[in-house]
Amino acid sequence: MDSADKIIVVVCMGSSCFSRGNSLTLKLLQDYIHENGIEDRVELKGSLCEDCCKCGPNITINGARYSEVSADACLQHLAEHLQSNGCREAGPLS
Ligand code: FES
């Protein structure tokens, strides 16, 4: 797979977002990617504070920012991006 086709997930790792949920979101994203064997389809990155702590926790998937996002909602957004990219490997959310 061309790296340009990868879904890029950026998790804000600033202290506010991290303590308000992104620490769990990061762990669940890592588990979801590993369990579904989609490491070649998803690139997980961290960012420094994105200067929008008030609306956090924040994540960005392929440039689309999701604010006040729970871990479950984050996985749902990722699954939707995978589905729209034609990825059949990703299993249903539990
Ligand atoms: S810590 Fe995430 S926007 Fe500031």
Cα separation, 82 vs 86, in Å, equals 6
Cα dihedral sign for 81, 84, 85, 90?
A: positive
The tens digit of pLDDT for each residue in 9-39 reads 999 999 999 999 999 999 999 999 999 999 9
Q: What's the topology of domain 3-84?
A: Glutaredoxin (3.40.30)
Cα separation, 46 vs 25, in Å, equals 12
The tens digit of pLDDT for each residue in 51-68 reads 999 999 999 999 999 999
Task: Please work out whether the CB of residue 62 comes within 6 Å of at least one atom of ligand 1.
Answer: no
Task: Please work out whether the CB of residue 16 comes within 6 Å of at least one atom of ligand 1.
Answer: yes
> What is the atom index within ligand 1 of the atom nearest the CA of 57?
2
User: DSSP secondary-structure letter at 45?
Assistant: E
Sequence spans of domains, the chain: 3-84
Q: What is the pTM of this model?
A: 0.89
What is the mean pLDDT of the segment spanning 67-83?
A: 95
The neighbouring-strand residues paired with 47 are: 12
